[in-house]
């Protein structure tokens, strides 16, 4: 019984590691109509969930994000967030580029309709939190 439990825990642990290494997918809502085959140069979206881009940058649910649309890649257009509006209605520019692929099911995406952004290289998983110990206090 113990061996079966240990095997289950090891499998769960390896599955967790495999999932964390994959691309980060987040659902967002468009704030204006656009065609998936010919999107505008600038797109405004609203986050439908929380997304950590890197150690310093996290986009929370409800934030409005402005991004540029670049060329086509991997079956969708590349969306690069350039700024976001936080809960205090402050517009904050992003200092780094975090490209994502736009994935939609329909040709025309209407205002307030959800679609998916896929961040192929999640940089947020590459950092570690520092937890101070008792020896650091003295």
pLDDT tens per residue across span 29-44: 999 988 888 888 999 9
Domains contained in the chain, CATH given = 25-123 (2.40.128.260)
Q: Which residue has the tokens 């998983």?
A: 125
Sign of CA dihedral 35, 38, 42, 46: positive
Burial label, 120 (beta-carbon count in 10 A; 0-12, 13-18, 19+)? middle
Banded pLDDT at 83 (limits 50, 70, 90): very high
Q: What is the mean pLDDT of residues 84-90?
A: 91
d(C-alpha 30, C-alpha 28), whole Å? 7
List, for residues 19-30, the tens digit of each pLDDT value: 445 678 889 999
């Amino acid at each position: 019984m113990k061996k079966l439990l240990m095997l289950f825990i090891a499998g769960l642990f390896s599955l967790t590691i495999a999932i964390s290494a994959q691309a980060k997918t987040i659902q967002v809502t468009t704030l204006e109509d656009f065609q998936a085959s010919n999107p505008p140069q600038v797109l405004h979206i609203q986050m439908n969930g929380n997304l950590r881009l890197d150690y310093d940058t996290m986009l929370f649910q409800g934030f409005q994000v402005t991004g540029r649309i670049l060329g086509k890649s991997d079956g969708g257009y590349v969306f690069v967030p350039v700024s976001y509006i936080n809960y205090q209605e402050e517009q904050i520019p992003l200092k780094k580029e975090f490209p994502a692929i736009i994935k939609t099911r329909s040709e025309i995406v209407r205002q307030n309709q959800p679609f998916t952004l896929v961040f192929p290289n999640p940089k947020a998983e590459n950092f570690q939190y520092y937890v101070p110990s008792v020896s650091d206090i003295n």
